[in-house]
Chains A and B, each alone.
Chain A
């Protein structure tokens, strides 16, 4: 098990996509964790004299329409954006994997119900569904996590279902059942470790999509309410002043784009390393 882990790690570190994504993710993580220690500015401190000021030694990325420090705002926004995407994927992966495994292992009516349900959810574009659900439940960090989580649950469920079906046919499952291992034990100890690889890939790609949805909703005014200033919200406010000063739009745009690119690259690298045969299968499932 440990050997396999090291082998995977070694081939991962040979992948340029993995290296690039790790550099970006480390930078963003450092920004989120150490940013508040580095910056001297309160993200909400208004300074009229510094309205639309460009980058300077004091304010590294410049100031926004109220003269607030853009760097501190990005650092602050990182926590919201990253928390929402991380939490929603944890939610989606746990729920989806459980659903898919149960459906794939027990089969029968349960399977039909669960898989038809995922088909229905997948027939919507996630962004549309997100707008609709956030409109009904009201925008808050908690609701965003739940909504994005529910929208991505079917993806995990489908993958877990297909992999569980394949694994359940293998003999060691049969043997485990024969010696009287309890079902929950078989599922957790024997099935789960064998279906993890494609789920990791989906998790990484999902993080990128979740950031896109969260920032998109925030951009449209449906994100977490003030004072929470996520990246999308920063851009949505700064765009009105695009002709006066580009910095309020520019910096958060760069940070969002880099973050999403990093998660997508990481997903690609994981996919190539963990299971090269997966490529075709995942591409088909995304349809």
Chain B
């Protein structure tokens, strides 16, 4: 077990390093000159001299390997560089934005699980019936629906038509808690739609798979009530793949959050990424992609390691 953990840790560190290097070289080798961007693009008509000065200031005139070493050394000290646009340290901006994304992402994951698991169980235990058909259809629709479709639908219904919730904007929970709550409702629901559909489907198929196994027949034949068979044995075992799919679900929530933050004007880390992309603000692009990528590597690592804890039958080595 501990050998497995060590191996996975080394693997995660290696993956992180490869990802960091990939991001660095992609940003630096692909066309587009950040110096030109800072000076307002071609429309700003900067002189050769201005471009040269900015390049020098940013260290862009140094050989690429020198820049790479510098970048890595800075990273190790937690320095992600400075935004071209705002002039603030990238790390500060990201630290400000990450909690805001989590404020809608975490409730969305909880909501998706809370809806998806019971519906999936219901569909599996009523296999082939009308309820199963309805739930399965709902689940495919839910994860096929683009986030902007479900988001705009909710805005049209609950904020334009019924006027129950504001259509967007951010209020810090410490300033106005009720205002905060009313503003996270729609983004959270929008974000939860796709993962809820996925959880529903995984729960259903995982339970159906378990129901066909021998231990179920054994339990039934020794006279155990159906209820006890389902909730005492089957449910616990079929939860394993669903719980460990956290990494996959988090990916869906993140992909959705880029669009949800845009629809609801929510200033989280995804909208920081999008703004920096539109402004060609390279240090911020690099920083956000990096933070998100590392988060994912960590989530996958944790998922992998908990697998063995949840399911004792799995032994490594």
CB-contact partner of B280 in A125, A135, A236, under 8 A = A135
Q: Are B255 and A128 in contact (CB under 8 A)?
A: yes
| B69 smallest CB distance to A (angstroms) | 21
As a 0/1 sequence over residues 260 to 275 of chain A, the CB contacts with chain B under 8 angstroms (1 = contact) are 1100110010000000
Q: Tell me which residues across on chain A come within 8 A of B273, comparing CB atoms.
A: 128, 131-132
Q: Tell me which residues across on chain B come within 8 A of A280, comparing CB atoms.
A: 205, 209
Q: Are B205 and A283 in contact (CB under 8 A)?
A: yes
CB-contact partner of A136 in B18, B27, B300, under 8 A = B27
A135, B152: Cα distance in complex, Å: 25
18 CB contacts below 8 A, A to B, read: A123-B293, A123-B296, A123-B300, A124-B19, A124-B292, A128-B289, A128-B293, A131-B273, A131-B277, A215-B146, A221-B278, A249-B152, A256-B146, A257-B145, A264-B140, A265-B140, A283-B241, A287-B248
> If the complex has contacts A123-B15, A123-B19, A137-B30, are A220 and B255 also in contact, measured as CB distance less than 8 A?
no
Q: Tell me which residues across on chain B come within 8 A of A243, comparing CB atoms.
A: 160
Please name 6 further chain A to chain B contacts, defined as beta carbons within 8 Å, in addition to the given A128-B254, A257-B149, A261-B140, sorted by A numbering.
A120-B18, A120-B19, A219-B259, A239-B263, A253-B148, A283-B202
Find residues 200-249 in chain B having any chain A CB closer than 8 Å to their own CB: 202, 205, 209, 241, 244-245, 247-248
As a 0/1 sequence over residues 258 to 292 of chain B, the CB contacts with chain A under 8 angstroms (1 = contact) are 11001100000000011001101000010001001
Q: Are A256 and B258 in contact (CB under 8 A)?
A: no
Contact of A127 with B by CB under 8 A: yes
Classify chain B's interface size: 35 or more
Contact of A242 with B by CB under 8 A: yes
- Which residue of chain B has its CB nearest to the CB of A262? B144
A33, B292: Cα distance in complex, Å: 41
Contact of B59 with A by CB under 8 A: no
| B161 smallest CB distance to A (angstroms) | 9
Q: Are B19 and A135 in contact (CB under 8 A)?
A: no
Find residues 214-242 in chain A having any chain B CB closer than 8 Å to their own CB: 215-216, 219-222, 232, 235-236, 239, 242
Closest CB pairs A-B (n = 7)? A127-B255, A135-B277, A260-B144, A125-B251, A261-B144, A253-B149, A136-B30
CB-contact partner of A264 in B30, B144, B147, B245, under 8 A = B144
Contact of A212 with B by CB under 8 A: yes
Contact of B114 with A by CB under 8 A: no
Contact of A126 with B by CB under 8 A: yes
Q: Tell me which residues across on chain A come within 8 A of B248, comparing CB atoms.
A: 286-287
A284, B314: Cα distance in complex, Å: 15
As a 0/1 sequence over residues 110 to 135 of chain A, the CB contacts with chain B under 8 angstroms (1 = contact) are 00000000011001111110011111
Q: Tell me which residues across on chain B come within 8 A of A119, comparing CB atoms.
A: 15
Q: Tell me which residues across on chain B come within 8 A of A268, comparing CB atoms.
A: 140
Q: Tell me which residues across on chain B come within 8 A of A40, comparing CB atoms.
A: none
Q: Are B15 and A253 in contact (CB under 8 A)?
A: no
Q: Tell me which residues across on chain B come within 8 A of A126, comparing CB atoms.
A: 255
> If the complex has contacts A136-B30, A283-B205, are A242 and B156 also in contact, measured as CB distance less than 8 A?
yes
Q: Tell me which residues across on chain B come within 8 A of A286, comparing CB atoms.
A: 248
Q: Tell me which residues across on chain A come within 8 A of B262, comparing CB atoms.
A: 219-220
Contact of A208 with B by CB under 8 A: yes
| B273 smallest CB distance to A (angstroms) | 7
Q: Are A216 and B147 in contact (CB under 8 A)?
A: yes
Q: Tell me which residues across on chain A come within 8 A of B58, comparing CB atoms.
A: none
Q: Are A212 and B146 in contact (CB under 8 A)?
A: yes
Q: Are A242 and B152 in contact (CB under 8 A)?
A: yes
| B152 smallest CB distance to A (angstroms) | 5
- Which residue of chain B has its CB nearest to the CB of A231? B146
- Which residue of chain A has its CB nearest to the CB of B209? A280
Q: Are A242 and B15 in contact (CB under 8 A)?
A: no
Q: Tell me which residues across on chain A come within 8 A of B15, comparing CB atoms.
A: 119-120, 123
- Which residue of chain A has its CB nearest to the CB of B277? A135
Q: Are B152 and A253 in contact (CB under 8 A)?
A: yes
CB-contact partner of A124 in B160, B278, B296, under 8 A = B296
Contact of B71 with A by CB under 8 A: no
- Which residue of chain B has its CB nearest to the CB of A117? B18
- Which residue of chain A has its CB nearest to the CB of B14? A116
Q: Tell me which residues across on chain B come within 8 A of A215, comparing CB atoms.
A: 146, 148
Q: Tell me which residues across on chain B come within 8 A of A253, comparing CB atoms.
A: 146, 148-149, 152-153
As a 0/1 sequence over residues 109 to 153 of chain B, the CB contacts with chain A under 8 angstroms (1 = contact) are 000000000000000000000000000000011011111110011
Contact of A279 with B by CB under 8 A: yes
Contact of A246 with B by CB under 8 A: yes
CB-contact partner of B258 in A123, A124, A216, under 8 A = A216
Find residues 1-51 in chain B having any chain A CB closer than 8 Å to their own CB: 15, 18-19, 22-23, 26-27, 30-32
A266, B89: Cα distance in complex, Å: 48
A131, B277: Cα distance in complex, Å: 8
> If the complex has contacts A125-B255, A131-B277, A136-B26, are A287 and B247 also in contact, measured as CB distance less than 8 A?
yes
Q: Tell me which residues across on chain B come within 8 A of A235, comparing CB atoms.
A: 148-149, 152
> If the complex has contacts A208-B144, A261-B141, A264-B144, are A249 and B156 also in contact, measured as CB distance less than 8 A?
yes
Q: Tell me which residues across on chain A come within 8 A of B258, comparing CB atoms.
A: 127-128, 131, 216, 220
